[in-house]
Amino acid sequence: MKIYLDNNATTIVDPYVFDEMEPFFVQKYGNPNSLHYFASETHAPLKEAMQKIYAGIHAPEEDSVVITSCATESNNWVFKSIYNEYVITGKKNHIIISEVEHPSIIATAKYLENLGCNVTYLPINHEGIIEADMVRDYITDKTALVSIMWANNETGAIFPVQEIGDICAEKDVLFHTDAVQAIGKTPVDVQSFNVDYLTMSAHKFHGPKGVGALYMKKGKELTPLLHGGSQMGGYRSGTLNVAGIVGMGKAMEQAIDALDFEMSDIRELRDHFEEELLKIPDTFVVTPREKRTPNTILISFRGIEGESMLWDLNRSGIAASTGSACASEDLESNPVMEAIGAEADLAHTAIRFSLSRYTTEEEIEFTLAVVKEAVDRLRGISSSYAYAPEGHESGLEAH
Ligand code: PLP
């Protein structure tokens, strides 16, 4: 049996999405900007796909949704345009992010720091969540941008983006949110929230890889990062990825249709899985379940290197993650676990299981059995577990 529990890394393309994309490879392969039939037959499907993306995040027609190559591009675009617009011109020089943003935000912020921008990295609290009031405390008259993710990719923690958006609006500071892990898992509505920019990525909600988007509120449009042709209203040049856009539109429609299922049935399956995992002694979960996306568990098994657990799971056909995608060779600790102040030995033991609407009960029962067996085997050969002193404090609550 092959079991995929790494859906925060990427997801299977929904078969309906694949079907909609297929004609745009060998039949309807025209460049939409050309002046012939091959081009014009792509126009209606592109329009329909864009409408589905707008509808998925409740974006009004006057706002812009610009298709990019991925969320990494969307995030880079926001930061580098803000730098060009505010920092270089000397208007403002400060950006606020959380210390648990995705590397496409952290690395971009660090790059801009080297170019003279001031960046504040807000810490998370003991539940792995950013507190909105902290954003207020750090905003100054030099702050150009606040960028806080909607949901964290490691823990699934949902951040208070509504309150943060309100604070930014009140202080007249631009607000960007990386909603990559939120789409299809929690309602995303740019009209009821004060959001100026919002990042999406199709492959996280059963769409194709290599297609992302950036939402921009009317009046807050960014200068382009890629210059060239007039595609995407001149905001993002480059021949349109027709199949990708059609796929993203269908994936968004499917994700919105399946949202209730994710929030009830998948949540229930995740909760059952987690309750059973927490029956294993010396296991720890950071963020309370009700404050998380419905599909994610980041759990530590004291005494077991995350990579060792992954190895055992992989041998049984189960794909999970240590939650730190770049750490596979260096045995790095999980960044969120470090950020909440968990001891190094626990930060090394985090495993992320991320479910999807395709995950079945049978897969979860099988995984539970494999995890239990792996814990027995790995703790049996772990010197650190055997030598853990009595009453050893973890910095986390034990379950
Ligand atoms: N932001 C978050 C929160 C993510 O989880 C990811 C992917 O892991 C990205 C951005 C980057 O997405 P993409 O692969 O589309 O560049």
Of 390, 381, 248, nearest to 309 by C-alpha is 381
Residue 254 has pLDDT above 90, yes or no: yes
Strand order in the sheet with 143-147: 64-68, 212-216, 197-201, 174-178, 143-147, 94-98, 118-122
Query: Which residue type sits at 130?
Result: I
Instruction: With H, G, I as helix, E, B as strand and everything else as coil, classify residue 294.
Output: coil
Residue 332 has pLDDT above 80, yes or no: no
First to last CA, the chain: 30
Are residue 219 and residue 321 in the same domain, yes or no?
no
pLDDT by residue (tens digit) across 128-148? 999 999 999 999 999 999 999
pLDDT band at 387 (very low <50, low <70, confident <90, very high): very low
Are residue 314 and residue 205 in the same domain, yes or no?
no
pLDDT of amino acid 1: 86
**Residues 54 and 61 sit within 8 Å (Cβ to Cβ):** yes
pLDDT of amino acid 391: 45
Are residue 237 and residue 266 in the same domain, yes or no?
no
Mean of the pLDDT values across residues 281-291? 94
Based on the number of CB atoms within 10 Å of its own CB, is 376 exposed (0-12), middle (13-18) or buried (19 or more)? exposed
For ligand 1, say whether the CB of 149 is within 6 Å of any of its atoms: yes
Backbone φ and ψ for 265, nearest 5 degrees, come out as -70, -45
Instruction: With H, G, I as helix, E, B as strand and everything else as coil, classify residue 383.
Output: helix
Q: Point out which residues pair with 163 in neighbouring strands.
A: none
pLDDT of amino acid 328: 44
Distance CA 176, CA 109 (A): 13
Tell me, in angstroms, the distance from the centre of ligand 1 to residue 33's CA. Answer: 29
Evaluated on CA atoms 127, 128, 129, 135, the torsion sign reads: positive
For ligand 1, say whether the CB of 156 is within 6 Å of any of its atoms: no
Residue 398 has pLDDT above 50, yes or no: no
Residue whose CA lies nearest to ligand 1 atom number 9 = 71
Mean of the pLDDT values across residues 361-374? 98
User: H-helix or E-strand containing 384?
Assistant: helix 383-386
Residue 395 has pLDDT above 50, yes or no: no
pLDDT of amino acid 323: 65
Residue 236 has pLDDT above 80, yes or no: yes
pLDDT of amino acid 346: 77
Distance CA 156, CA 288 (A): 10
pLDDT of amino acid 389: 46
Looking at residue 327, which CATH number applies to its domain?
3.90.1150.10
pLDDT of amino acid 340: 75
User: H-helix or E-strand containing 48?
Assistant: helix 37-56
pLDDT by residue (tens digit) across 11-45? 999 999 999 999 999 999 999 999 999 999 999 99
Tell me, in angstroms, the distance from the centre of ligand 1 to residue 241's CA. Answer: 19
Tell me, in angstroms, the distance from the centre of ligand 1 to residue 201's CA. Answer: 7
Are residue 169 and residue 196 in the same domain, yes or no?
yes
Cβ-proximal residues to 71 (8 Å cutoff; 6+ apart), any chain: 102, 104, 178, 180, 199, 200, 201, 204, 212
Distance CA 197, CA 181 (A): 15
Both tokens of 53, joined, read 């993306």
pLDDT by residue (tens digit) across 111-120? 999 999 999 9
pLDDT of amino acid 344: 66
Chain-centre distance for alpha carbon 126:
20
**Residues 283 and 302 sit within 8 Å (Cβ to Cβ):** yes
Are residue 125 and residue 38 in the same domain, yes or no?
yes
For ligand 1, say whether the CB of 212 is within 6 Å of any of its atoms: yes
Q: Indicate which atom in ligand 1 lies nearest the CA of residue 149.
A: 3
Domain extent for 179: 15-257
**Is 397 within a domain?**
no
Looking at residue 160, which CATH number applies to its domain?
3.40.640.10
Side-chain half-sphere of 231: how many Cα atoms within 13 Å?
Answer: 21
Residue 224 has pLDDT above 90, yes or no: yes
Are residue 184 and residue 328 in the same domain, yes or no?
no
pLDDT of amino acid 326: 45
Angle at 130 between CA 128 and CA 131, to 5 degrees: 125
Residue whose CA lies nearest to ligand 1 atom number 5 = 153
Are residue 133 and residue 155 in the same domain, yes or no?
yes
- Of 257, 277, 293, the residue at which a domain comes to its end is 257
Residue 324 has pLDDT above 90, yes or no: no
Instruction: With H, G, I as helix, E, B as strand and everything else as coil, classify residue 118.
Output: strand
Mean pLDDT of the chain: 93
**Is 215 within a domain?**
yes
Are residue 199 and residue 275 in the same domain, yes or no?
no
Angstrom distances, CA of residue 227 to CA of 88, 193, 223: 19, 31, 10
Count: domains in the chain: 2
pLDDT by residue (tens digit) across 193-211? 999 999 999 999 999 999 9
For ligand 1, say whether the CB of 323 is within 6 Å of any of its atoms: no
Mean of the pLDDT values across residues 245-259? 98
Are residue 180 and residue 272 in the same domain, yes or no?
no
Of 119, 166, 163, nearest to 138 by C-alpha is 119
pLDDT band at 90 (very low <50, low <70, confident <90, very high): very high
> What is the set of active-site residues?
326
Of 248, 238, 261, 167, nearest to 211 by C-alpha is 248
Residue 348 has pLDDT above 90, yes or no: no
- Of 225, 257, 289, the residue at which a domain comes to its end is 257
**Is 398 within a domain?**
no
Tell me, in angstroms, the distance from the centre of ligand 1 to residue 102's CA. Answer: 7
Residue whose CA lies nearest to ligand 1 atom number 8 = 9
